[in-house]
């Protein structure tokens, strides 16, 4: 029998964020990545939201996710809404810190880890 293989959700967020930032593929491809990631995060109850990527964060000649209004009127435009950066949910960050602390062989009680995460 095969062992079950899993992937860390932070790894998935990082993967999709990188693809959304660097890819020059059709926006429908990015829309698929975004939809899959959103579904995974919502199902796991760790959806942390997203921000649109501005011009400086996408390849030259590619549409950004947002062009901010510089006139103070609040009229932003969204040329490519698939250019997103997903945020980590607080729970995922907390789990990563716990994993790092355990991995570095610092034997702390869970309560102490939680206090350290609160400071972070």
With a cut of 50, say whether residue 109 has pLDDT above it.
no
Cα separation values, 114 from 13, 14, 44, 46, 94, Å: 23, 24, 21, 18, 8
Residue 71: count of CB within 10 angstroms of its CB? 7
| Domain range annotation of the chain | 1-88, 90-120
pTM of the model: 0.75
User: In a 3-state reduction of DSSP, which class is residue 6?
Assistant: coil
Give the chain's mean pLDDT.
84
Least confident of 12-21, 69-78, 94-103, 109-118: 109-118
Tens of pLDDT along 43-65?
999 999 999 999 999 999 999 99
CA distance 92 to 83: 22
């Amino acid at each position: 029998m095969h062992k079950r293989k899993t992937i860390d959700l932070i790894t998935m967020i990082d993967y999709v964020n990188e693809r959304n930032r660097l890819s020059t593929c059709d926006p429908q491809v990015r829309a698929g990545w975004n939809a899959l990631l959103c579904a995974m995060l919502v199902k796991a109850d760790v959806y942390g939201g997203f921000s649109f990527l501005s011009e400086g964060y996408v390849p030259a000649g590619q549409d950004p996710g947002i062009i901010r209004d510089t006139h103070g009127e609040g009229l932003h435009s969204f040329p490519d809404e698939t250019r997103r950066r997903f945020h980590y949910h607080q729970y995922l960050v907390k789990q990563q810190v716990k994993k790092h602390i355990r991995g570095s062989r610092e034997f702390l009680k869970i309560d102490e880890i939680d206090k350290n995460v609160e400071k972070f």
